[in-house]
């Protein structure tokens, strides 16, 4: 009986040892962190800089999912994506609502000195003697002056009206600009022309300026274009928070004019991401890209038609003094080694 019990005990012990000695099953592959696939230049570049650091420094897989600004913000609130690399936080009603409900967060201020507005080439107002261009709208200073100069910006498809180049459909700024046209009483005198993409808007503006043709357009910084040409930003009424709400709401029938809310460029993240990745949250909160350097880098990317991923890798190689302070030493070392 004792011998039988000993054999049973020994067999159980060996069985247990055998189980413990088995190799651990391979860990499940990590699901990628989904970044919004931003279509404008600065957003594309910043997204790739962040992805490279997350992949090479922290070891997480990433990918990008396409969508408009509005659809990406909705996806972030549902955690269908986890990160928007350049979020103009606090602008759109869906973002404001989701932020108030604790579903999304804007981390840090990644670019200081950002701006946006309605612009015209300087030669429209002052002329350009070197190119033989006479002033076409010498008294144009503000949006209030535009109605009298509609013929200067004549739309080729509607010659009795001017053309305003708006953002692409699906951008938050497209809604705001459309509401501004109503608020400033310009819907009868200007065509609200929406380009198909940020690149198409850039190409239309650049082509007009190179040919010495007047053009009225919405634009923003950080971008290469604002540093490339001599432009004049048209004056708007002082910022009014209540008026801004009427501009951000596409369904408001009586929008009131005001300059846009001061931009705050952050990294947008979902609530589950913020809770589950504190080390990445700490990194995102420290991101700080000098706007002049960013515009210069974007200019090179645009001029040479380089892919954002390629430019991001070059940026990380050539500007370690910018990004290394965002990271713990060992993480920075892994990123540097990967380059």
State the CATH number of the domain containing residue 206: 3.40.190.100
Residue 13 has pLDDT above 50, yes or no: no
Where is average pLDDT lowest: 31-35, 144-148, 223-227? 223-227
Of 181, 213, 248, which closes a domain? Answer: 248
Of 216, 248, 280, which closes a domain? Answer: 248
Whether residue 140 is contained in a domain is answered as: yes
Of 198, 213, 248, which closes a domain? Answer: 248
Whether residue 24 is contained in a domain is answered as: no
- The domain tally of the chain equals 2
Find the mean pLDDT for residues 325-331: 97
- Tens digit of pLDDT for each residue in 236-252? 999 999 999 999 999 99
Whether residue 180 is contained in a domain is answered as: yes
pLDDT-above-70 percentage for the chain: 92
pLDDT interval class at 28 (50, 70, 90):
low
Find the mean pLDDT for residues 62-72: 93
User: From residue 323, how far is each of 280, 312, 328 by CA, in Å?
Assistant: 14, 11, 11
Residue 23 has pLDDT above 70, yes or no: no
Q: Do 122 and 217 lie in a common domain?
A: yes
Q: Which residue has the tokens 């498809």?
A: 157
Between CA 131 and CA 135, with CA 132 as vertex, the angle to 5 degrees is 105
- Tens digit of pLDDT for each residue in 80-104? 999 999 999 988 889 999 999 999 9
Give φ, ψ of 325 to 5 degrees.
Answer: -65, -15
Residue 1 has pLDDT above 60, yes or no: no
- Measured between alpha carbons, how far is 42 from 221 in angstroms, rounded to an integer? 9
Residue 35 has pLDDT above 50, yes or no: yes
DSSP of 53-99, one letter per residue? HHHHHH---EEEEE--HHHHHHHHHTTSS-EEEEEETT-SHHHHHHH
Residue 215 has pLDDT above 50, yes or no: yes
Q: Do 284 and 231 lie in a common domain?
A: no
pLDDT-above-90 percentage for the chain: 79
* Domain coverage including residue 291: 33-110+263-338
Whether residue 3 is contained in a domain is answered as: no
Whether residue 254 is contained in a domain is answered as: no
Does pTM top 0.85 for this prediction?
A: no
């Amino acid at each position: 009986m004792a011998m039988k019990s000993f054999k049973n005990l020994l067999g159980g012990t060996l069985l247990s040892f055998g189980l413990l000695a088995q190799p651990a099953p391979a860990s499940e592959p990590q699901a990628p962190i989904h970044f919004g696939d931003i279509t404008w230049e600065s957003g594309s570049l910043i997204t790739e800089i962040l992805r490279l650091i997350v992949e090479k420094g922290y070891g997480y897989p990433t990918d990008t999912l396409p969508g408009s600004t509005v659809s990406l913000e909705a996806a972030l609130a549902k955690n269908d994506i986890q990160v928007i690399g350049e979020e103009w936080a606090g602008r759109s009603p869906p973002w404001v609502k989701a932020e108030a409900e604790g579903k999304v967060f804007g981390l840090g201020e990644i670019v200081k000195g950002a701006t946006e507005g309605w612009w015209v080439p300087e030669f429209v107002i002052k002329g350009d003697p070197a190119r033989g261009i006479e002033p076409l709208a010498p008294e144009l200073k503000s949006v209030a002056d535009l109605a009298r100069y509609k013929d200067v910006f004549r739309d080729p498809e509607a010659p009795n009206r001017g053309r305003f180049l708006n953002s692409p459909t699906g951008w938050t700024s497209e809604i705001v600009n459309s509401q501004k046209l109503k608020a400033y009483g310009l819907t009868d005198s200007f065509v609200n022309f929406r380009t198909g993409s940020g690149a198409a808007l850039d190409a239309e503006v650049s082509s007009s300026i190179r040919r010495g043709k007047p053009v009225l357009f919405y634009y923003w910084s950080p971008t290469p274009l604002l540093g490339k040409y001599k432009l004049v930003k048209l004056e708007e009424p002082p910022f009014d928070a209540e008026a801004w709400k009427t501009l951000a709401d596409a369904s408001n029938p009586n929008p009131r004019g005001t300059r846009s809310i001061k931009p705050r460029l952050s990294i947008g993240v979902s609530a589950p991401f913020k809770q589950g990745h504190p080390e990445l949250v700490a990194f995102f909160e420290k991101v700080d890209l000098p706007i002049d350097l960013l515009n210069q880098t974007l200019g090179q990317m645009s001029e040479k038609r380089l892919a954002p991923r390629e430019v991001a890798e070059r940026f990380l190689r050539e500007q370690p003094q910018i990004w290394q302070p965002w990271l713990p030493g060992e993480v920075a070392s892994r990123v540097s080694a990967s380059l």
